[in-house]
Protein backbone atom coordinates (compact mmCIF):
# COMPACT_ATOMS: atom_id res chain seq x y z
CA UNK A 1 0.00 0.00 0.00
CA UNK A 2 2.80 2.39 0.91
CA UNK A 3 4.70 1.67 -2.33
CA UNK A 4 1.55 2.43 -4.30
CA UNK A 5 1.40 5.93 -2.72
CA UNK A 6 5.10 6.48 -3.44
CA UNK A 7 4.63 5.47 -7.08
CA UNK A 8 1.61 7.78 -7.43
CA UNK A 9 3.48 10.65 -5.78
CA UNK A 10 6.49 10.06 -8.08
CA UNK A 11 4.21 9.94 -11.11
CA UNK A 12 2.55 13.25 -10.15
CA UNK A 13 5.92 14.90 -9.56
CA UNK A 14 7.28 13.70 -12.91
CA UNK A 15 4.13 14.72 -14.77
CA UNK A 16 4.26 18.14 -13.06
CA UNK A 17 7.88 18.63 -14.15
CA UNK A 18 7.00 17.48 -17.67
CA UNK A 19 4.04 19.86 -17.77
CA UNK A 20 6.23 22.71 -16.56
CA UNK A 21 8.73 22.00 -19.35
CA UNK A 22 5.90 21.99 -21.91
CA UNK A 23 4.63 25.35 -20.62
CA UNK A 24 8.15 26.83 -20.78
CA UNK A 25 8.61 25.49 -24.32
CA UNK A 26 5.28 26.92 -25.47
CA UNK A 27 6.06 30.28 -23.85
CA UNK A 28 9.40 30.37 -25.65
CA UNK A 29 7.85 29.46 -29.00
CA UNK A 30 5.14 32.08 -28.65
CA UNK A 31 7.40 34.92 -27.50
CA UNK A 32 10.49 34.21 -29.63
CA UNK A 33 10.74 36.29 -32.77
CA UNK A 34 12.86 35.44 -35.80
CA UNK A 35 16.11 37.37 -36.07
CA UNK A 36 16.13 40.44 -38.27
CA UNK A 37 19.29 40.79 -40.30
CA UNK A 38 20.43 44.28 -41.16
CA UNK A 39 22.56 43.00 -44.01
CA UNK A 40 20.55 40.77 -46.34
CA UNK A 41 23.37 41.15 -48.87
CA UNK A 42 25.82 38.98 -46.95
CA UNK A 43 27.61 36.45 -49.14
CA UNK A 44 30.05 33.69 -48.28
CA UNK A 45 33.21 33.15 -50.32
CA UNK A 46 36.20 30.89 -50.16
CA UNK A 47 39.90 31.00 -51.00
CA UNK A 48 41.92 27.80 -51.37
CA UNK A 49 45.62 27.96 -50.48
CA UNK A 50 48.07 25.54 -52.10
CA UNK A 51 49.83 24.78 -48.81
CA UNK A 52 48.68 24.31 -45.23
CA UNK A 53 48.27 27.51 -43.24
CA UNK A 54 50.04 27.66 -39.87
CA UNK A 55 48.81 29.84 -37.00
CA UNK A 56 51.14 32.73 -37.83
CA UNK A 57 49.99 32.82 -41.45
CA UNK A 58 46.37 32.49 -40.32
CA UNK A 59 46.69 35.60 -38.15
CA UNK A 60 48.30 37.51 -41.01
CA UNK A 61 45.60 36.43 -43.47
CA UNK A 62 42.87 37.45 -41.01
CA UNK A 63 44.52 40.83 -40.48
CA UNK A 64 44.81 41.35 -44.24
CA UNK A 65 41.18 40.34 -44.79
CA UNK A 66 39.91 42.59 -41.99
CA UNK A 67 41.56 45.56 -43.65
CA UNK A 68 39.54 45.03 -46.85
CA UNK A 69 36.39 47.16 -47.05
CA UNK A 70 33.11 45.22 -47.18
CA UNK A 71 34.15 42.20 -45.12
CA UNK A 72 32.57 41.44 -41.79
CA UNK A 73 35.56 41.20 -39.47
CA UNK A 74 34.10 38.57 -37.16
CA UNK A 75 33.27 36.09 -39.93
CA UNK A 76 36.63 34.80 -41.14
CA UNK A 77 37.25 31.09 -40.78
CA UNK A 78 40.73 29.67 -41.42
CA UNK A 79 41.14 25.89 -41.48
CA UNK A 80 43.93 23.84 -43.03
CA UNK A 81 44.40 25.39 -46.47
CA UNK A 82 41.00 27.06 -46.84
CA UNK A 83 39.79 30.53 -45.82
CA UNK A 84 36.06 31.21 -45.70
CA UNK A 85 34.83 34.76 -45.22
CA UNK A 86 31.62 36.75 -45.41
CA UNK A 87 31.29 39.98 -47.33
CA UNK A 88 28.63 42.47 -48.30
CA UNK A 89 28.04 41.97 -52.01
CA UNK A 90 26.84 45.57 -52.46
CA UNK A 91 30.24 46.88 -51.37
CA UNK A 92 32.61 44.29 -52.83
CA UNK A 93 32.72 40.91 -54.51
CA UNK A 94 34.86 37.82 -54.05
CA UNK A 95 37.12 38.62 -56.99
CA UNK A 96 38.01 42.06 -55.61
CA UNK A 97 38.64 40.62 -52.15
CA UNK A 98 40.86 37.89 -53.59
CA UNK A 99 42.87 40.36 -55.67
CA UNK A 100 43.35 42.71 -52.71
CA UNK A 101 44.41 39.84 -50.44
CA UNK A 102 46.95 38.52 -52.95
CA UNK A 103 48.31 42.04 -53.46
CA UNK A 104 48.76 42.50 -49.71
CA UNK A 105 50.47 39.22 -48.92
CA UNK A 106 51.64 37.57 -52.15
CA UNK A 107 49.93 34.33 -51.12
CA UNK A 108 49.96 31.18 -53.23
CA UNK A 109 46.20 30.72 -53.48
CA UNK A 110 43.27 30.53 -55.86
CA UNK A 111 39.72 31.77 -55.56
CA UNK A 112 37.11 29.03 -55.22
CA UNK A 113 34.52 29.25 -57.96
CA UNK A 114 31.39 27.18 -57.62
CA UNK A 115 31.02 24.58 -60.40
CA UNK A 116 28.26 25.31 -62.90
CA UNK A 117 26.26 22.20 -61.96
CA UNK A 118 26.04 23.43 -58.34
CA UNK A 119 25.41 27.09 -59.12
CA UNK A 120 21.74 26.55 -59.97
CA UNK A 121 21.07 24.01 -57.25
CA UNK A 122 18.69 24.96 -54.43
CA UNK A 123 20.40 25.73 -51.15
CA UNK A 124 17.68 24.42 -48.84
CA UNK A 125 18.37 20.74 -48.14
CA UNK A 126 14.76 20.05 -47.17
CA UNK A 127 12.21 18.86 -49.72
CA UNK A 128 9.78 21.78 -49.93
CA UNK A 129 6.96 19.53 -51.09
CA UNK A 130 7.23 17.19 -48.10
CA UNK A 131 4.58 17.03 -45.40
CA UNK A 132 7.06 17.82 -42.61
CA UNK A 133 8.23 20.99 -44.41
CA UNK A 134 4.67 22.20 -44.96
CA UNK A 135 3.75 21.41 -41.35
CA UNK A 136 6.77 23.29 -39.98
CA UNK A 137 5.99 26.28 -42.23
CA UNK A 138 2.39 26.39 -40.93
CA UNK A 139 3.61 26.32 -37.33
CA UNK A 140 6.17 29.00 -38.11
CA UNK A 141 3.55 31.25 -39.74
CA UNK A 142 1.15 30.66 -36.85
CA UNK A 143 3.63 31.87 -34.23
CA UNK A 144 5.09 34.66 -36.34
Containing H/E element for 118? helix 116-119
Nearest CA to 139 out of 17, 34, 40, 21 is that of: 34
List residues bridging with 87 in a β-sheet.
Answer: 43, 71
Residues 28 and 46 reside in one and the same domain: no
pLDDT at residue 30 in the model: 84
**Are residue 56 and residue 107 in the same domain, yes or no?**
yes
- CA 102 to the chain's CA centroid: 27
Written as tens digits, the pLDDT of the chain (144 aa) is: 677 889 999 999 999 999 999 999 999 888 887 777 665 678 888 899 888 888 888 888 888 888 888 887 666 787 778 888 888 888 888 899 899 988 988 888 999 888 888 777 766 667 778 888 888 888 878 776
pTM of the model: 0.57
Q: For residue 77, how many other CB atoms are within 10 A of its CB?
A: 13
3 state DSSP class of 90: coil
Query: Does 10 reside within a domain?
Result: yes
- Domain range holding 22? 1-32
Note whether residue 103 is domain-resident. yes
Amino acid sequence: MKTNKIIKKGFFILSGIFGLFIVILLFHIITAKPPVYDTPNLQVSRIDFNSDIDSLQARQICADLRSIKGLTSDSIIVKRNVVVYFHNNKITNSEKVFNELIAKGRYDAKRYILPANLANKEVCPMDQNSLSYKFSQKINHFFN
